Amino acid sequence: MTKPDYRLLHSAIKNKDTAFSQQERTEAHLEGLLPPVVDSLETQMQRVLEHLDNKPDDIEKFIYLQELADRNETLFYATLMSDPVTFIPLVYDPTIADACRKYGHLYRRPKGMYLTREMKGRLKEVLRNWPQKEVRFICVTSGGRILGLGDIGANGAPIPVGKLQLYTACAAVPPEGLLPVHLDIGTGNQKLKADPLYTGLREEKLGQQALDELLDEFVAAVEEVFPGCCIHFEDWEGDDAIRYLQRYQQQALVYNDDIQGTASVVLAGLLTALETTGGKLTDQRVLFAGAGSAGTGIADMLVEAMTQEGADKDEARRAITLFDKKGLITVDRDDLNASQQVYARDMASEKDLQKVVEQVKPTMLIGVSTQGGLFSEGVVKAMSRLNDRPIIFALSNPTENAECTAKQAYEWSEGKALFAAGVQFGEEKIGSETRYPGQANNFYIFPAVSLAIYAARPARVDDKLFIEAARLCAKQVSKADREKGKLYPSQADILNTELAIATGLVRYLCKHGLAGIKEPEDIEGWMQTLIYKPRYC
């Protein structure tokens, strides 16, 4: 006697819930195991929306959506892709920050893989436990620097899950080849280690040499177990983030979204702003408030973009000034890493940001400091006195870490500022005009880059690909939108934006001999055959 195929009901990939047809129920012996109604995907989505409307807060909506992803992947992505403006903030930033804070208390079931320092010497063996044998992307974090929350160890596990979900929700990268990984190297967070519900190792962090050896083994194991897989490093501590990108990008297919993705999306917004001001990138003076891996990564990409436009590299570096919690980055400081030293200025020490603005006279002010309120009224007014249209990016998140709000930037500049933040602020009325702050969110870049990698199969990627992504992203902002102060494309049309960027990147990779494929004659049509569409088969 044939038994019911219960696996269909318990497989997130194959499950259709109430959308199984009567014929499918008969053939799989599922009759009586489901309510008699046969729903369409659209009706199921209506039910999902009603469930979400009844949730008391965003963290409960996050939990519900993650459980939906575990139960019915098609319905989960159909929901996300139907209204990205509403749902992306629920599965990623800002809601995911709260989920990370509470992860040990919210934990329901495993997602992805959990590798630990104790598996050293066996990582290949452990990776082979993953049921999907063709993995195209691994997003890996150590939980060392999560969304301005600092070292939260295993509580960072939701980050690679959410990041890979955005690959699919924003750029339609097929989800079956995506593997989130948390690499548990210990934590220095004593509060977490004292929490009985903490899910990670209660050990101090590995030292640098031991960590380097573990990462070397991990990268080699991924290359052997999942050939052609791209490793996406996410939310590593500043020095480690820089070191591992530099260590592996010439020998493996890797990128770091915190460095390259952040730099690319900031560059995209700056290029859009320059379309409004009429200036050239090579003529800008840029002041960074924050000199960690994000700040120096953006600075490095700006230098590379300036050199592509004809500037001398040293000249481009001199156009950039860094400021951190200890003040101006100057040549007489003895606490600088190699990434900061190249931007050290031969100036007197100064800890007052407003005074630095007045001395340096920047055309662009970029905040990556995680210091909420750092861009004071005096700082913004100083930028406004120096520039007809000051370009001010307050990129730190979550919201309480933003260097200033959109309302403050617009009011203190009398509506002149071209403003973007790391979080989404609402539109602001300034006199008779409305300003639309941009969100310099990496989801404009890394899903598109990943779709291009998925399609073109390059052996390596570098900053030049991310610079090209920034230029392609900036081209998606219409003149009409720029006149409203918008610096990024509409999030409501994120899939078409990402497809356009990814298609341009595939052309770029093919043109420069970096692709592992021959460029298709009808590249747009070919890309449509590769992307994921949330439909029941």
Catalytic site residues?
92, 163
Q: Are 12 and 69 within 8 A, CB to CB?
A: yes
Q: Are 419 and 404 within 8 A, CB to CB?
A: no
At 17, phi and psi to the nearest 5?
A: 55, -130
At 120, phi and psi to the nearest 5?
A: -55, 135
Q: Are 412 and 380 within 8 A, CB to CB?
A: yes
Burial 184-203 (b: 16+ CB within 10 A, else e): bbbbebeebbeeeebbbbee
Burial of 290 (C-beta count, 10 Å sphere; 0-12/13-18/19+): buried
Check residue 257 and report its DSSP letter.
I
Q: How far apart are CA 443 and CA 514, in angstroms?
A: 24
Q: How far apart are CA 16 and CA 14, in angstroms?
A: 6
Q: Is the peptide bond before 458 cis (omega within 30 degrees of 0)?
A: no
Burial 377-400 (b: 16+ CB within 10 A, else e): eebbbbbbebbebbbbbbbbbbbe
For residue 500, give the nearest of 444, 425, 457, 434 by alpha carbon.
Answer: 444
Query: Are β-strands 428-430 and 320-324 bridged in parallel, bridged antiparallel, or unpaired?
Result: unpaired
